[in-house]
Amino acid sequence: MAVSTTLILAGIGVSSLVCQWLAWRVRMPAILFLLAGGILAGPVTGFLHPETIFNDLLFPMVSLAVAIILFEGSLTLRYEEIKDHGKMVRNLIPVGSIVTCLIGTLAARWILGVSWEVALLFGAISVVTGPTVIAPLLRAVRPTSKLANILTWEGIIIDPVGALLAVLVFEGIVSWGQGNVFGHSVYIFGKTLLVGFAIGAAAGYLNGLVLRKHWMPQYLHNAGTLTFMLGVFAISNEMAHESGLLTVTVMGIWMANMKQVPVDSLLEFKESLSVLLISALFIILAARVEFAAIADLGWGLVAVLACLMLIARPVSVFLSAIGTSLNWREKLYLSWIAPRGIVAAAVSALFAFQLERIGYDNAGVLVPLVFMLIITTVTLQSLTARPVARLLGVQEPPAHGFLILGANPVARLIAQALRKHEIPTILTDTNWENVRQARMENLPVYFGNPVSEHAATHMDLTGIGNLLILSPYKQLNSQATYHFLDWFGDDSVYGLVEGDQDQKARLQTAGKVQRTRGLFDGVSYAKLASLVSQGYTVKTTQLSEEFSYEQFLSQYQNQALVLFVRDSKEHMHPVKDMETLQPDNDWILISLVPPQPQKERKETNGDRTVTSTGPA
């Protein structure tokens, strides 16, 4: 029975959403499910035939989608981040890129017998790991903070750097193919580089200036930037053949390093595209993979993958680790973790298209080779990362820190008190003024939506295992609750009651969400903010046989609000109900206490109150 094009297109969209949902449920990289879905829809069932459906539009569609992916990746490359994340990260970028590219090239050439051009391009593409595959793996495994930071920032930085390397290699191959003599090939390659860097830099500066000067209304920032970028991509290709990918990569890097340009909102906008456009792209690309092409590679495919995973990665890590403080266990773990991701899949498909069009017949092996590299590394390393971390002793102990939703004055006071007890904390807020104040107080803070894909990639939750909702934004509070209930667990999400009694009544039937309410003896955010504005401060009090909990309550005339207790095992617990609270005499209380008269302060200024946070 013939299937309508409309049904096929709708099926691609639904399938991409199902794949994203499955990835979220099992906490694995989405690309694995997208590729599997494409293979199922294409070579397995024959439901999807991209060339038949899209005809001449397939190549332009893939080109524009890859341009969007490279542009988004390049927006994350900030020069100061390369400097600020240690010698190991700085070494891994150049050393790892060169070693992986070299070994990948030689393996593809000598084992599979492909041409030097295709082998070199495969070596360049195999460099890229990427945050979209690293972040879910780290969340599930929880290695030590040192290793998590190295892997996270390597993935973020190598994403655009590796893509730029692959683009440059491709431009060189195409330029050489167009030149009948060496001099003409050099001219074509030089022209491509000149156009790519010049137009990319100019476009990045111009677009950044428009955003910084607010010459365009806020609601057009995302759509305008995307449209402008695609226009620049097309113009660059017209001026110099296939220079567009280099142009958009340079444009993104320029904007990322331009001062006072709000690129974070652009990155969040990309999430909506990734669910539909980019997710659908990978289903379409995977549907073109043929089992016969994979089978033709034979055992040579296994040998190439083994060279990259068991030779190239360990050599890169151990060379990069020279002069660092990493021990052999940490080096071994880094040597095992290097899953490939979205950029590798997209770029390989596009470049295979291009090379086949200009006469490289064996370029067809590029797609199955890269796709099998992605599937193998993501699957194998996702399944083994946790036991390997446990075996090597590089896994973090149970996370006891707090992610605090809100960077308002109340949240900042509580974060300061927790940090005095060496409890890991990170604040998150969508209000820039709150974020700015938190940074001035030297508090770690993430600016943006904590349930966004950008947050999942860039927000460092090492040591964080609890969510504390101290925000007045009801809709965001609910979103964060649902999101982190699945992430942290039912007993690790704490929220304030809503001030609106009707809203509270509606939440009576909300199941899990309702059980998170009632933090801090059932006070609302408005009540907490009111107390702080009246001069209440956060104090830490050590209980003892000489100063019991009852004496503490009496001292503040039952007006103190106990926020946290630290028990004899040094575990920090948020307090929900003060009526049932029965702390032992060796416990520590973190409380919100009323202001006291000057005379009374002097009388109680003994060893009972050991620290004080907040205004006097």
396-418 pLDDT tens trace: 776 788 899 988 888 898 898 88
Report residue 319's pLDDT band, with 50, 70 and 90 as the boundaries.
very high
CA–CA distance, 23 with 383 (Å, rounded to integer): 14
pLDDT score for 107: 93
Q: What percent of the chain has pLDDT over 90?
A: 10
pLDDT score for 178: 57
CA–CA distance, 119 with 115 (Å, rounded to integer): 6
On the question of pLDDT at 268 being above 70, the answer is no
pLDDT score for 596: 67
CA–CA distance, 26 with 374 (Å, rounded to integer): 18
* Torsion from C-alpha of 108, 111, 113, 114, nearest 10 degrees: -10
Compute how many other C-beta atoms are within 10 angstroms of the C-beta atom of residue 90. 16
Report residue 505's pLDDT band, with 50, 70 and 90 as the boundaries.
very low
pLDDT score for 131: 66
Phi, psi values for residue 138, rounded to 5°: -65, -35
Q: Which residue has the tokens 């009323």?
A: 594
pLDDT score for 2: 60
For the chain, helix, strand, coil in percent to 5 are: 65, 10, 25
308, 103 contact by CB (below 8 A) = yes
CA–CA distance, 286 with 273 (Å, rounded to integer): 19
pLDDT (tens digit per residue) in 459-504: 777 778 888 888 888 888 888 888 888 777 777 888 888 755 444 4
302 vs 164 pLDDT, higher one: 302
pLDDT score for 184: 61
pLDDT score for 318: 93
Strand 445-447, strand 425-429: pairing: parallel
Q: Which two tokens stand for residue 325?
A: 């403080």
33-62 mean pLDDT:
84
150-165 mean pLDDT:
75
pLDDT score for 160: 67
* Torsion from C-alpha of 159, 164, 165, 170, nearest 10 degrees: 130
CA–CA distance, 191 with 170 (Å, rounded to integer): 14
Q: Is residue 157 left, alpha or beta, with left meaning phi > 0 and alpha meaning psi from -120 to 50?
A: alpha
* Torsion from C-alpha of 407, 413, 418, 421, nearest 10 degrees: 140
| Strands of the 464-469 sheet, one edge to the other | 445-447, 425-429, 401-405, 464-469, 493-495
Best CA proximity match to 225, nearest among 193, 273, 159, 281: 273
Strand 537-542, strand 445-447: pairing: unpaired
pLDDT score for 607: 43
Angstrom distances, CA of residue 356 to CA of 110, 177, 352, 360, 615: 21, 12, 6, 5, 69
381, 410 contact by CB (below 8 A) = no
pTM, rounded to two decimals: 0.68
Q: How many helices (H) and strands (E) does the chain have?
A: 30, 10
Contacts of 271 (CB under 8 A, 6+ apart): 452, 453, 454
CB-neighbour burial class of residue 579 (10 A; exposed 0-12, middle 13-18, buried 19+): exposed
On the question of pLDDT at 59 being above 70, the answer is yes
Q: Which residues of 203-224 are buried (b: 16+ CB within 10 A; e: fewer)?
A: bbeebbebbeeeeeeeeebbeb
CA–CA distance, 29 with 379 (Å, rounded to integer): 9
Query: In whole numbers, what is the pLDDT of the chain averaged over residues?
Result: 80
CA–CA distance, 533 with 511 (Å, rounded to integer): 34
123, 104 contact by CB (below 8 A) = yes
Q: Which two tokens stand for residue 608?
A: 């009972």
Phi, psi values for residue 524, rounded to 5°: -95, 170
pLDDT (tens digit per residue) in 64-119: 887 887 787 777 767 665 555 567 888 888 888 899 999 999 999 999 888 888 88
228 vs 132 pLDDT, higher one: 228
Strand 464-469, strand 493-495: pairing: parallel
CB-neighbour burial class of residue 125 (10 A; exposed 0-12, middle 13-18, buried 19+): buried
End-to-end Cα separation, the chain, in angstroms: 78
| Residue 143 DSSP code | B
322-328 mean pLDDT:
86
Q: Which of 292-301, 310-319, 525-534, 603-612 has the highest mean pLDDT?
A: 310-319
pLDDT (tens digit per residue) in 343-393: 787 778 778 877 877 777 677 788 888 888 888 888 888 888 888 988 998
